[in-house]
Structure formats: structure tokens, C-alpha cells
Chain A
């Protein structure tokens, strides 16, 4: 992704959802996009898929290169062919993301029928296999059921099965565990990890939970207010992050291995996206901010590992 800018043109103003975002994901890597709600991460994911609601939303600049082709300039037809086949997405809310009037096996089989042109019968058989692969017990019997007959965790698994049906090269998972309880969360994560290894899939994981990123991802991008603040390997981010925002996030998460006397949090609120702060978007809440931070937006300073950090403090001296 290079220099992506997405804005929403609303009656009340223009929302700068994503601004000048750039990152690179290599094949087979687990890549996390981290940020609070409203940071622009879901918008980024949808833009990659080409699912952005185009009337209010507009892609104002940038390129998304997938295997060499710019996704932003590909035709609707071609995008459609990619979607569901090579690039698949698992969505945030399993309760509303499945069609309530269609059988579950059909919904999983649909992508297969469209992209691989096999018969419904065959596709549904594959769907049953997929269902057991994602850990749904009694798959054969339950395949004929409807979404409302499944629990949240099961529905999320169904969605994962749905996304994996065509063995995509790239899987984008948008908060796949937010709506679930902790136990189910860890099960789903284990499942994702397992599947990723098995199929050598590139996974982009969008989340606000650093713990998940630590578990599943090799590299990560931290977003704030539509900007990519820090990009680095997960190890580097966790051990010595260069960006105050990331450090703030790290400090506010609970750790099992360290004793914490008080939970800290980053003071302040997410900025108004129609009228964001000048200069570095984080400066109103940043403990290290100075005048320059308020006036000038920092460029992305490249790091040794190949990542970057968008902070004046990480300027190489």
C-alpha cells in the first residue's frame, strides 16, 4: 500500500479516515494493523477489498499493489474476481454478517460455486469439510442449519470457513474476536494460527488488542487518527517501540508477566476526524510533544529493521 488517502465526504464535513498510509506486507507473513476504534483500520481493510461505500467515501490518493497490479485502478469486474477467491475477508460482527435466510453450508459454498464453477452439491460437500476443519462439531448435520441456530463463536468459525473456502492467498481479518468471550477468543486465534501455517496464507489482522498481535503476527502497523504511526516487526515494537503512542498503548495493556501497581491509560480522547489537530495528530495527548510536533507533521523515519516511525522523537540524529 502506498500513500493511501481515504476521505468521507459527509454533509457535516469531510472525514479524513485514512491519510497517506503506506505499508508493505510480504507473502506468508502475519501482519497486524493495530489501533483504537476510529483510527481508520477498518476503512483500510475495506479499501483493500474494494468494499468501501463509494458515495460518501472517496479514495483521494494512493496505490494498493497486489502482486504487481494496482487494486485501485482495476475494474469492478476484475476486483470481483479477486474478491473471495484470492483475497478474502472475515468480518467484525458474526451476529449480523451472515445472511439469516440462507443455510450455512450454502453460504460457505457460494464462493466456491462462483469462483470455481463447481456444482452446488460438490461445493456443499466441501463446505462440510471446511466446517469440521474450523472446529464445528457434527458438521455434516449442522451444515443444513441456519445462522441463528449457532452461537457467536460458531458463527465466527463459519465466517472463517467461508473466507477460506477458495484457499485465498490473502486473508484479512477484521477484529475477528472482539465480539467473543475470552475462551472462544483463544480458540479462534489458535485456529487462525494453525490455518495460516497450514496454507501458508498471508494474513492481515486488524485489531485493537495488542495481545492478539503479539500472539499471531510477525509484523505490525500502528495506526492513529488515520495515520500510520509506527511500522515494525512485532518483536521490535514490543521490546523497544520508537513511538510514544505505541508505548502508551503497550503500557495500558495488562501484562501477566509484570506486576503493575496501577493501570495507566493515554490521557485525552481520539481527535475529531473532521477537524483533526495540526501537525502530528497525536501531539495533544503525547507526553513528549513540543512545538514542532504541533506545527509540522513528522515524516515517517525509516528504522533499521525496515519499518518506520512517524515521530519527531525518532528522528535519527
Chain B
């Protein structure tokens, strides 16, 4: 298929997915009791704002037009007006994205690095002590609710030991961006988020590697008299890690969901805690818009990992 064709295909799929999400949003909007009027037209907003929303979402027009207007709104950033903030939902969300990224990206990197490491260590001697230990470890954290873990960490380190800050991203007293302060605040939420995701990721790496080690070309490699190390690292690993790239894309979705819960526990000022707050405040436009942005982030990361995969897998790049 060739790389450019592949990328184009994937991009199209991504766009289609975004459309599906938009449609889903629209459907939910209309299926909810009360319909879009109750959702968008908060009785407390000013008449001017009211008129603006009526017009931009066409709430008095037939449904097909509403649909198109809604989709147009999605693209142009018109995601409704937040009740609470009296700003456009888009702005509210945009302002909190950086914070979430500051939590998610380090967590993602750590998950991947340690996950792959754990997977490799497990597989070098399958079913050995190391393997079973690591697998049990992974399995233990796999079923754990991330917010529980967060609470435990918080209570222990922040309250009992008072070693680490109790929440938030930066201390109130600092001005500007102090990296050390940020890092101190980062440790606990990142640990909670990473541990849980690490569990499932390392198990995925392990099973992918085990599958590769069963393949015929591994026998061929051994048959050439290559050392086990060479066979493992050069032949098995390269093939085994390839599906991992794809899995990462799917993983971002679960990291995002975990972030919602973690941010809430740690009062981290990102999209996650915004979700919690908006739900509590019944700020529906923001909730809807949040779903949309979460979906976009997931779709985008899937696209990126798909492209990276395409570059790495010769079966796609060539021919």
C-alpha cells in the first residue's frame, strides 16, 4: 500500500471518527430528557447570550439544520456556553488542557518505558520467578481503583508523613512556573496514574512478546547459531514491540479516563477535575464539550501511533 496511502487512509478514518463522535454528541443531546433547550439554555444566562445560542445552534430550526449547525460548531469551536463560567465552553476547556498534559505526558512516558522494561524482564525467562512476580504485581494493580490508590498515597505521604504537597499543581505562594515545585506536586498523582496503567501495559507487552517467541522465524534465527541474546533482542524484540505501538494508541484512552479520576483526587487543575466539577455543577455544555475533547485527543493519539507504526513496519512502508 505504501506509506502515503496508508497515512491518508488512517487520517480519513480519524476524520470519520470525529464525525461519528460529533453525531453521537448530537444524538445524546437530543435524546436527553428535556432536549437541547434545557441543556444549552440555562435559565440563568443573560437574554443576549440566550439569543446567541439560539441562533448559533438553531434550536428553533428543523433537526437536519440543527445537525449541520452543530457539526459546524464543533469545528469552529462553538461548543456552547458554560453555565458556571459564563464563557464559551471552548475557552474553559482550552485553558485547562496544559495542566492535563503536564500530568499525562510524563505519566505516559513512564508507563511506556517501565512497561516495556517489565515486559522484557518477564519474557526473557517465561514463568520464572521474575516473570511470575512481575505478572502478579501487574495483576494486582490492574483491578485497583485508581482513586483509591490516590487516596492511599495522599493520606500516607501528604498527611501522615507530610512529605509531599496535598494537591494542586503548584503552590499558591509561588509566582510563575517553578519546576521543582511542579515536580513535587507531580509525584503522587503521577505514581497513582502510572502504576495502574503500567499493570495492563506490561501485561500486553508480555503477551505480545510471548506470541512472537513462538514464531517460526525465531527457530530459524536460533538455527543459525545466534546467541540467545541476539535472537531475543534483534529478532524477537523488534517484532514484539510493534503491536505495542498500536496498543499505546488505544491506551491513551484509558490514561485519559484515569486522569479524570486522578485529577479529581489530587485537585489537579486540568480537564479531569473540570469534568468532576462540571458534573457536580450540572454544567452540561461543558460536560458535552469535555467528552468531545477527550474523544479528539484519543482519536488524535491513535492517528499518531498508527502513523508511527506505519513507519516502523516494513510491511506497510514498502509495498
**Chains A and B share a contact (CB less than 8 Å):** yes
Check B315 against A110 for contact (C-beta < 8 Å). Answer: no
Q: CB of A223 within 8 A of chain B?
A: no
Q: Give the CA-CA distance A97 to B219 in the complex, in Å.
A: 8
Q: Give the CA-CA distance A81 to B225 in the complex, in Å.
A: 6
CB contacts (< 8 Å) of B215 on chain A: these are 96
A-contact bits for B81-114, CB 8 A (1 contact / 0 none): 0000000000000000000000000000000000
Check A101 against B223 for contact (C-beta < 8 Å). Answer: no
Check A115 against B225 for contact (C-beta < 8 Å). Answer: yes
**Most chain A beta carbons < 10 A, residue from B217, B224, B319:** B224
Check A91 against B219 for contact (C-beta < 8 Å). Answer: yes
Check B314 against A83 for contact (C-beta < 8 Å). Answer: no
Q: CB of A82 within 8 A of chain B?
A: yes
Interface range for A? 20 to 34
Q: CB of B134 within 8 A of chain A?
A: no
Q: CB of A80 within 8 A of chain B?
A: yes
Interface range for B? 20 to 34
Q: CB of A133 within 8 A of chain B?
A: no
Nearest-neighbour CB distance to chain B for A110, whole angstroms, equals 6
Taking CB atoms and an 8 Å cut-off, the chain A residues in 86-135 that contact chain B are 88-89, 91, 93, 96-102, 110-111, 114-115
Check A99 against B224 for contact (C-beta < 8 Å). Answer: no
For B224, give its contact among A84, A100, A102, A149 (CB under 8 Å): A84
Check B223 against A84 for contact (C-beta < 8 Å). Answer: yes
Q: CB of B220 within 8 A of chain A?
A: yes
Check B217 against A100 for contact (C-beta < 8 Å). Answer: yes
Q: CB of B281 within 8 A of chain A?
A: no
Given A148-B314, A149-B319: A100 and B239 interface contact (C-beta under 8 Å): yes
Check B315 against A146 for contact (C-beta < 8 Å). Answer: yes
Check A99 against B239 for contact (C-beta < 8 Å). Answer: yes
Q: Give the CA-CA distance A93 to B215 in the complex, in Å.
A: 11
Nearest-neighbour CB distance to chain B for A236, whole angstroms, equals 32
Q: Give the CA-CA distance A105 to B219 in the complex, in Å.
A: 18
Q: CB of B238 within 8 A of chain A?
A: yes
Given A101-B239, A101-B242: A80 and B227 interface contact (C-beta under 8 Å): yes
Check B225 against A98 for contact (C-beta < 8 Å). Answer: no
Question: Which residues of B are interface residues toward A (Cβ below 8 A)?
Answer: 215-217, 219-227, 230, 234-235, 238-239, 242, 313-315, 318-319
Question: Given contacts A83-B225, A88-B223, A96-B215, could you give 12 more A-B pairs where the C-beta distance is less than 8 Å?
Answer: A51-B222, A83-B222, A96-B216, A99-B220, A100-B315, A101-B238, A101-B239, A110-B221, A110-B224, A115-B225, A148-B315, A149-B319
